């Protein structure tokens, strides 16, 4: 709550005060005047919302608003202006204090004002209900002290006040808070369950009260109807009976009836009207007439008829001497007559009063309730009968013309029972009271629903309290009061059935709705939380994917970074990285991150032998997660030693594999209330595990690469060393070779000189120039001559080879007509060819000229042609010369012995002569082809090739470039 500017504060204060006063005034209007109980006092909610949102800054505005409204409310109702001010101040202070304290209570418990569970909703409502007691208590106390409410209404006033404020707070405050959160685009529905609970509860209460009210009215109407019917029945019964008495009265005008006639007449009445206990005739008897009267009565009525007195004690006594008597002469029915025949009505006080009154008033008069002789109580009506009744108006009635009284008695119990029972719509309790003398009311009869008959006279005023119905009945000069009250006060519960039903149903419905809302809210909150979690997890993962892990050079640091990231993203207190060591026999903690401290520790060890179940678990699956790690069989091995001391409740372990091999585990250890792991959290943790295995894998790979690199460098060094050594050795060898070649060349030169001399002189001797030789000498010298020549050829070849190998053989380039050169070579071997009878086919165009070394080319051609002649026994030799693509090709083909395929590889090797039958008889050094190829390839920059078939012949092909470049020392003389 940042402090707003003064201008804004003023604006907000005006808005709050206006909203408060306006709403209060509207509610007052809606209920047609103030001061009535209100089930939903919305202004209390406005006050609470203002304080919840803006805090104590809104207190002045609220106090002002409550003062204004309360003053308006009390102005017209308070007795004095001072009382109005006092009440206004106290109640306004109460309302303001209430809003502030309730907001304080709510803020203490709900800092974010989020309602996600039923418990939250109940707590919110409970705290609000507690806060609402303040204004109700202060207000009720103030009204009570000023006698504005009755004592008996205190609780009701307090409850109404409290419930009204609570309803208003639970409706308005949450709606305001929700709309505020919406304005801030937070879309939080959470608090809306409260207005719904409140509206539901208020609506339920209101409907229940209305139903109860309607029901109450109906019950009152029903009672009044019943009471009216009772009163009408009673009155008509009384009227009917009085009419019967009147009929009897009429019977006695001027007529003297016999008992039989009387009986005859009254029989009909008694049969028709069961309420009448008895009808009697009591004639007036003067003192002198008594004996005669008694005598005739004995005759007519009963033999033992005698006039007697009856005192209050209801004991008959002989008639005392009096001026006149009113003894009962006839009485029907017989059952009653036995006990009343002869009773002097004037002797009994209860009867006498009524009789005298009737006589004085000359009209029928009922008695008070009187005891019957036989027991029971009755009321009697006395109707005086006058002589010459028709001729007299009532004013002329005097005592002398009185003939007697017709008397009718009602057993009051029967009368009441017949009148007041049996036809009631509604059970009632009724009292029939004689109130003729207001100071001495007499209970005639009391009839209650339960039937027990309480004879004690109740306080009439007390009966008139509460719901009742009363009617007065005039009966023969007496006034009776019938008061009825509903008898079923104990049946209230039954009557409250619909009320309770609605209350219960409404409450259940409200509860279900709010439960549904809260459930919805909860699942929405869970979804939102999951989305938030997923977003943060995704952000972390994509950040890792984009930038990779820092500390590329240090895998342990990277792993630390990973577990810290997991702990911070998933909000887990401890996340550790453990790696298998010692042939997988133990897990060693490489890093353990604690979120609350941000510190890393390491070094703990878990032996597989001590926690076999856990180690087996790691071998299975990708993620192992348990909310109750202390009980879960996979992790319960740690409970006593590890989980309990550290307060770890839930675990999520991600085995790390490199290839398919388990190398370690990332352990997520949650401290606090048990935590079920959501699927997204498990996925995230698994991704962290995958990253950890990537780090470990790349660590392994880079180690291997490093080792390979080292090995390669060592090898390279070795190769370089060896190459250097070889190079040195080669150089030495080359030098030695050169020395050798030079040595051989010079040695050969030295050998050739004496050898030439030997050959020359041996030739001279053989020719016989120096004298004749015998056969033996000739033979010996011929062998010397041949060997010397062979040696010379050998030496010549060795010299050539040595020169070439020593690099001293330079070429001298000149234009050569190749055909001519071939001719020269052919001429050289002509004698041998002709000796062997071999044919010659020469195909050598004369115009083919090459720039090359003549002597070397000749040496090659001669060698090839000479071999062809040497190794051909019959047939012919064919020589073909041709020119193509900058080179000249000379083919020497023979039909000789050919060369076996397995001997081909020996060709062109020094001193190799193929093992054939011509080897012995054909002279040769085995150096010819070797030298020819050396000359062709190394000096003339050409080549030589051979194809041959054993016993069929061979073809040697020599080619040289058309133009051989001149070497530096080309014109120098050859060593030889």
Q: Does 825 bind ligand ADP (CB under 6 A)?
A: no
Q: Which of residues 529-568 bind ligand ADP (CB under 6 A)?
A: none
Is residue 890 at the binding interface for ligand ADP, with CB under 6 A as the rule?
A: no
**Separation CA 567–CA 556 (nearest Å):** 17
**CA-based nearest residue to 66, from 104, 23, 4:** 23
Least Å from the CB of residue 811 to ligand ADP: 22
* 105-113, 432-440, 655-663, 893-901 -> range binding ligand ADP (CB under 6 A): 893-901
Cβ atoms 344, 307 nearer than 8 A: yes
Nearest distance from C-beta of residue 910 to ligand ADP, angstroms: 9
Residue among 9 and 959 whose Cβ is closer to ligand ADP: 959
Q: State the minimum distance, in angstroms, from the CB of residue 921 to ligand ADP.
A: 11
**793, 748 in Cβ contact below 8 A?**
no
Q: By CB under 6 A, tell whether 195 contacts ligand ADP.
A: no
Scanning 32-40, 278-286, 472-480, 924-932 for contacts with ligand ADP by CB under 6 A, the matching segment is 924-932
Hey, how many other C-beta atoms are within 10 angstroms of the C-beta on 482? 23
- Is 278 strand, coil or helix? strand
The residue range among 195-203, 650-658, 717-725, 895-903 that interacts with ligand ADP, by the rule CB under 6 A, is 895-903
Q: Under the criterion CB under 6 A, does residue 926 sit at the interface with ligand ADP?
A: yes
Do 858 and 818 touch, CB atoms closer than 8 A? no
Q: Which residues are bridge partners to 286 per DSSP? A: 324
Residue 871 in contact with ligand ADP, rule: CB under 6 A: yes
* From 268-276, 682-690, 835-843, 921-929, span contacting ligand ADP (CB under 6 A): 921-929
Compare residues 926 and 970 and give the one whose CB is closer to ligand ADP: 926
Whole-number minimum distance, CB 826 to ligand ADP, in Å?
A: 15
d(CA 346, CA 322) in angstroms, rounded, equals 10
796 is a contact residue toward ligand ADP (CB under 6 A): no
CB of 913 to ligand ADP, least distance (A): 4
Stretch that binds ligand ADP, among 114-122, 286-294, 599-607, 909-917 (CB under 6 A): 909-917
DSSP for 878-940, written as a single string? EEEEEEETTEEEEEEEE-S----GGGGGGTTSTT----STHHHHS---S-HHHHHHHIIIIIS
Find the DSSP H helices in 184-285: 193-251, 259-272
Q: Closest CB to ligand ADP among 882 and 922? A: 922
Cβ distance to ligand ADP smaller for residue 34 or 896 = 896
Nearest residue (CB) to ligand ADP, 666 versus 899: 899
* Adjacent-strand bridge partners of 655: 665
Minimum CB distance to ligand ADP, residue 763 (Å): 22
Minimum CB distance to ligand ADP, residue 838 (Å): 11
The answer to whether residue 896 forms part of the interface with ligand ADP (CB under 6 A) is: yes
DSSP E strands: which ranges in 368-516? 370-371, 377-386, 402-411, 428-434, 442-447, 469-475, 478-486
CA angle 479, 482, 483 (to 5 degrees): 135
Stretch that binds ligand ADP, among 81-89, 663-671, 762-770, 923-931 (CB under 6 A): 923-931
Beta-carbon count within 10 A of 928 CB: 21
Q: How is the chain split among helix, strand and coil, in percent rounded to 5?
A: 55, 20, 25
- Residue closer to ligand ADP, measured from CB, 328 or 927: 927
Rg over alpha carbons for the chain, rounded to the nearest Å, is: 75
Distance in Å, CB of 771 to ligand ADP, minimum = 34
CB of 963 to ligand ADP, least distance (A): 28
Task: Compute the distance between CA of residue 456 and CA of residue 476 in angstroms, rounded to an integer.
Answer: 25
Output the CA–CA distances (angstroms, integers) from residue 966 to 110, 129, 533, 972, in the order listed: 108, 123, 87, 12
Q: Which is nearer to ligand ADP, 67 or 868 (CB)?
A: 868
Q: Which stretch binds ligand ADP (CB under 6 A): 81-89, 100-108, 657-665, 867-875?
A: 867-875
Binding to ligand ADP (CB under 6 A): which residues in 928-957? 928-929, 954
Provide the minimum distance between the beta carbon of 880 and ligand ADP in the complex, in angstroms, as a whole number: 15
Q: Which is nearer to ligand ADP, 718 or 951 (CB)?
A: 951
Our CB check for ligand ADP shows the closer of 560 and 870 to be: 870
CA atoms within 13 A on the CB side of 967: 17
Strands of the sheet with 943-949, listed across from one edge: 839-843, 876-884, 887-894, 953-961, 943-949
Whether residue 463 contacts residue 485, with contact meaning beta carbons closer than 8 Å, is answered with: yes
Question: Under a CB-based contact definition with an 8 Å cutoff, are residues 700 and 692 in contact?
Answer: no
- Is 115 a binding residue for ligand ADP by CB under 6 A? The answer is no
Q: Does 838 sit near ligand ADP (CB under 6 A)?
A: no
Closest CB to ligand ADP among residues 606, 927: 927
**Distance, CA of 428 to CA of 446 (rounded, Å):** 11
Number of residues located near ligand ADP, criterion CB under 6 A = 18
Q: Which of 128, 748, 867, 895 binds ligand ADP (CB under 6 A)?
A: 867
**Run of H or E residues at 502:** helix 497-547
Residue closer to ligand ADP, measured from CB, 928 or 942: 928
Q: Which is nearer to ligand ADP, 65 or 868 (CB)?
A: 868
Q: Could you tell me which residues come within 8 angstroms of residue 289 by beta carbon, excluding any fewer than 6 positions away?
A: none
Please identify, using beta-carbon distances, which residue of 471 and 916 lies nearer to ligand ADP.
Answer: 916
What's the Cα-to-Cα distance from 393 to each of 363, 366, 387, 401, 725, rounded to whole Å? 12, 22, 11, 12, 182
Stretch that binds ligand ADP, among 491-499, 578-586, 781-789, 891-899 (CB under 6 A): 891-899
Among 197, 433, 572, 868, binds ligand ADP (CB under 6 A): 868
Peptide bond into 333 cis (omega under 30): yes
- Please, which residue, 320 or 842, has the CB nearer to ligand ADP? 842
Q: Which of 233, 448, 702, 916 binds ligand ADP (CB under 6 A)?
A: 916
Q: Which listed range, 219-227, 598-606, 624-632, 894-902, lies at the site for ligand ADP (CB under 6 A)? A: 894-902
**Residue 436, Ramachandran bin (φ over 0: left; ψ between -120 and 50: alpha; else beta):** alpha
Q: Please state the closest distance from residue 851 (CB atom) to ligand ADP, in A.
A: 27
Of 480, 796, 894, 936, which one interacts with ligand ADP (CB under 6 A)? Answer: 894
Q: What's the rounded Cα separation, in Å, for the pair 586 and 583?
A: 8
- The H or E element containing residue 682 is helix 679-766
Using alpha carbons, select from 508, 539, 520, 262 the residue that is nearest to residue 406. Answer: 262
Give the contact letters, 650-679, x = binds to ligand ADP (CB under 6 A), - = no: ------------------------------
CA-based nearest residue to 172, from 206, 145, 199, 147? 199
Least Å distance between CB 912 and ligand ADP?
6
> Binding of ligand ADP at residue 21 (CB under 6 A)?
no
In the bound complex, what is the minimum distance in angstroms from residue 942's beta carbon to ligand ADP?
Answer: 18
The CB-nearest residue to ligand ADP is 924
Vertex 160 angle, CA 157 and 163, to 5°? 145
Q: What is the DSSP letter of 640?
A: I
Smallest distance, ligand ADP to C-beta of residue 899, A:
5
Comparison of 432 and 929: residue with beta carbon closer to ligand ADP = 929
Binding residues for ligand ADP (CB under 6 A):
867-868, 870-871, 894, 896-897, 899, 913-914, 916, 924-929, 954
């Amino acid at each position: 709550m940042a402090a707003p500017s003064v201008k804004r504060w003023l604006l907000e204060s005006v808005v709050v005060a206006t909203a408060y006063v306006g709403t209060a005034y509207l509610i007052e209007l809606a209920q047609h005047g103030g001061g009535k109980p209100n089930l939903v006092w919305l202004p209390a909610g406005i006050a609470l919302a203002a304080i919840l949102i803006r805090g104590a800054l809104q207190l002045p505005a609220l106090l002002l608003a409550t003062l204004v409204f309360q003053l308006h409310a009390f102005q017209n109702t308070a007795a004095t202006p001072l009382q109005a001010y006092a009440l206004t101040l106290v109640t306004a202070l109460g309302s303001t204090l209430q809003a502030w304290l309730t907001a304080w209570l709510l803020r203490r418990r709900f800092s974010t004002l989020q309602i996600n569970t039923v418990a939250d909703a109940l707590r919110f409502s409970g705290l609000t209900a507690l806060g609402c007691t303040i204004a109700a208590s202060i207000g009720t106390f103030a009204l009570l002290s000023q006698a504005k409410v009755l004592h008996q209404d205190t609780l009701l006033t307090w409850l109404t006040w409290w419930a009204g404020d609570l309803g208003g707070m639970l409706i308005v405050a949450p709606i305001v808070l929700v709309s505020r959160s919406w304005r801030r685009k937070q879309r939080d529905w959470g608090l809306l369950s409260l207005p719904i609970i409140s509206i539901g509860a208020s609506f339920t209460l209101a409907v229940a009260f209305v139903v109860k009210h309607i029901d109450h009215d109906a019950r009152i109407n029903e009672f009044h109807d019943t009471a009216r019917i009772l009163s009408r029945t009673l009155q008509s019964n009384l009227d009917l009976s009085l009419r019967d008495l009147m009929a009897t009265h009429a019977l006695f005008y001027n007529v003297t009836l016999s008992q039989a006639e009387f009986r005859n007449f009254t029989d009909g009445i008694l049969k028709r009207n069961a309420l009448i206990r008895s009808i009697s005739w009591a004639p007036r008897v003067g003192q002198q007439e008594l004996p005669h009267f008694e005598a005739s009565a004995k005759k007519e009525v009963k033999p033992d008829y005698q006039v007697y007195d009856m005192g209050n004690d209801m004991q008959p006594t002989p008639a005392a001497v009096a001026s006149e008597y009113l003894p009962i002469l006839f009485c029907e029915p017989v059952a009653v007559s036995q006990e009343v025949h002869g009773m002097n009505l004037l002797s009994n006080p209860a009867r006498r009063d009524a009789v005298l009154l009737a006589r004085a008033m000359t009209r029928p008069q009922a008695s008070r309730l009187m005891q019957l002789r036989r027991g029971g109580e009755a009321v009697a009506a006395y109707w005086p009968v006058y002589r010459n009744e028709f001729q007299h108006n009532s004013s002329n009635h005097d005592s002398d013309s009185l003939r007697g009284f017709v008397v009718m008695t009602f057993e009051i119990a029967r009368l009441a029972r017949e009148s007041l029972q049996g036809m009631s719509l509604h059970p009632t309790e009724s009292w029939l009271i004689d109130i003729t003398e207001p100071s001495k009311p007499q209970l005639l009869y009391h009839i209650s629903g339960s039937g027990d008959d309480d004879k004690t006279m109740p306080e009439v005023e007390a009966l008139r309290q509460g719901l009742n119905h009363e009617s007065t009945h005039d009966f023969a000069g007496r006034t009776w009061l019938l008061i009825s009250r509903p008898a079923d006060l104990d049946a209230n519960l039954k009557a409250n059935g619909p009320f309770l039903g609605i209350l219960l149903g409404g409450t259940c419905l409200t509860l279900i709705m709010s439960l549904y809302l809260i459930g919805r809210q909860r699942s929405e909150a869970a979804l939102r939380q999951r989305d938030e979690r997923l977003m943060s997890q995704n952000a972390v993962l994509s950040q890792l994917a984009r930038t990779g892990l820092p500390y590329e050079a240090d895998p342990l640091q990277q792993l630390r970074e990973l577990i810290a990231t997991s702990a911070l993203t998933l909000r887990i207190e401890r996340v550790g990285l453990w790696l298998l060591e010692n042939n997988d026999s133990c897990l060693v903690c490489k890093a353990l991150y604690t979120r609350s401290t941000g510190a890393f520790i390491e070094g703990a060890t878990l032996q597989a032998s001590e926690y076999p179940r856990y180690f087996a678990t790691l071998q299975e699956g990708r993620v192992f997660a348990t909310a109750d790690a202390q009980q879960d069989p996979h992790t319960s091995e740690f409970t006593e030693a590890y989980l309990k001391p550290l307060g770890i409740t839930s675990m999520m372990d991600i085995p790390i594999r490199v290839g398919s091999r388990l190398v370690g585990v990332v352990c997520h250890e949650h401290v606090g209330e048990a935590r079920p792991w959501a699927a997204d959290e498990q996925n995230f943790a698994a991704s962290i595990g995958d990253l950890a295995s990537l780090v470990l894998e790349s660590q392994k790979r880079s180690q291997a690469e490093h080792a390979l690199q080292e090995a390669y460098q060592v090898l390279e060094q070795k190769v370089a060393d060896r190459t250097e050594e070889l190079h040195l050795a080669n150089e030495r060898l080359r030098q030695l070779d050169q020395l050798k070649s030079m040595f051989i060349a010079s040695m050969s030169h030295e050998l050739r000189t004496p050898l030439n001399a030997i050959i020359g002189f041996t030739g001279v001797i053989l020719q016989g120039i120096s004298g004749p030789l015998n056969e033996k000498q000739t033979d010996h010298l011929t062998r010397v001559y041949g060997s010397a020549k062979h040696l010379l050829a050998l030496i010549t070849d060795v010299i050539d080879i040595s020169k070439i190998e020593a690099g001293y053989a330079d070429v001298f380039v000149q234009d050569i007509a190749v055909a001519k050169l071939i001719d020269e070579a052919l001429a050289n071997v002509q004698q041998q060819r002709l000796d062997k009878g071999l044919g010659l086919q020469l195909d050598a165009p004369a115009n083919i000229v090459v720039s090359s070394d003549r002597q070397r080319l000749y040496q090659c051609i001669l060698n090839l042609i000479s071999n062809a002649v040497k190794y051909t026994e019959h047939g012919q030799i064919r020589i073909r010369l041709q020119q193509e693509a900058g080179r000249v090709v000379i083919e020497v083909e023979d039909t000789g012995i050919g060369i076996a395929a397995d001997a081909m590889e020996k060709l062109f090797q020094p001193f190799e002569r193929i093992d054939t039958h011509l080897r012995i008889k054909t002279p040769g050094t085995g150096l010819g082809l070797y030298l020819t190829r050396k000359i062709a390839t190394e000096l003339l920059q050409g080549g030589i090739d051979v194809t041959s078939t054993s016993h069929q012949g061979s073809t040697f092909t020599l080619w040289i470039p058309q133009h051989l470049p001149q070497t530096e020392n080309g014109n120098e003389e050859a060593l030889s």
